[in-house]
Structure 1
């Protein structure tokens, strides 16, 4: 059976951006499923890899990104999904978890052939990450209730595209087995 990793996209966030007011309700709704996936993956010793924007802070690192988010007004959205000591962390600059990051190398070092994606934003970073995983011949599963969106209609279209065009499995978090 292929080794799986849980990839948590952009959940360490200050929500200090233009679309935050549209995004926050969806993040709140997705938190229970994201935390359930994290708990399940950690119990099964599945690699948990956070891939997160650096928000243009080119001197930042994962500890600083997390610390800033936990000091912000929306720490309640970050605290439940914060990385633990065993979590891996990749900093990205834009959209895809793979674009100009060491994620491909990390996954190959861990012998991962299947990624489960959760996080935000469904119609942007999750979609682009799923495409980049697909073109790298990785199997992709997206936890539909563990991804947050800005625009519901675009999120549904993105999930359909991932399923139809990339062969991604779209599933509820409770149905994902590591």
Structure 2
């Protein structure tokens, strides 16, 4: 996890968090070239979603694959992504107020401190966006649902190596788990307040 200070003692709970899954990547894995071609529209919408939710005081958490590099950190991952010319990476790099969790497997919860961080922040609703919709986003969303979180996966803020695979993953989330897959533009402060997920003014 990054060294960004946690929520100050006595501060009101965040209630919602935006979790960005594997948006920092060099695409150097099987299927990566196809995912790289499919990702830019979703990544552009993620940048806009992040900006809007940060303005609503929603914390941003990066859950990023360590790609088997156990001595790695987010700075190294970002450097590799920038060097590889990853699309839209400039607008997706973590800021000083963001949190970073490195994960060894598909789910952001598996063998990471993500659950403890969400508990510390008082989060009840998680908005998940990133790559790939039918892999790490799917696994993290199901894991969050099983842990009792209100889960939103904006359908236009995730990408997979093919549109068909992305649609199938979103369909599973919506139909089998009742997960909200509204478009990213429809996720606002008011939306999160209505679902118990944002701090009131």
CA distance in 2, matches of 1:15, 1:4: 29
CA distance in 1, matches of 2:162, 2:104: 22
Measured against aligned partners, the alpha-carbon deviations of 1:53-87 in whole angstroms (never above 9, x if no partner) come to 0111110012221222122232x431121111111
TM-score (normalizing by structure 2): 0.84
Quote how far apart the aligned CAs of 1:97 are.
0.7
- Would you say how many aligned residue pairs link Structure 1 and Structure 2? 177
Is structure 2 residue 22 aligned with structure 1 residue 10? Answer: yes
Measured against aligned partners, the alpha-carbon deviations of 1:38-66 in whole angstroms (never above 9, x if no partner) come to 10111111110000001111100122212
1:29 is matched with which residue: 31, 41, 51? 41
1:42 is matched with which residue: 50, 54, 60? 54
TM-score (normalizing by structure 1): 0.94
Counterpart for residue 126 of structure 1: 137
SS in 2 for 1:112: coil
1:154 is matched with which residue: 165, 168, 173? 165
Counterpart for residue 174 of structure 2: 163
Counterpart for residue 196 of structure 2: none
CA distance in 2, matches of 1:64, 1:24: 19
**Structure 1 gap segments, 5+ residues each:** none
CA distance in 1, matches of 2:73, 2:35: 24
2:89 is matched with which residue: 68, 78, 90? 78
Runs of 4+ more than 4 Å apart? none
Counterpart for residue 81 of structure 2: 69
Could you say which structure has the larger radius of gyration? 2
Alignment of 1:78-117 (within 5 A): 78-117=89-128
Quote how far apart the aligned CAs of 1:21 are.
1.8
Do the aligned partners of 1:54 and 1:60 also contact (CA within 8 Å) in 2?
yes
CA distance in 2, matches of 1:73, 1:66: 11
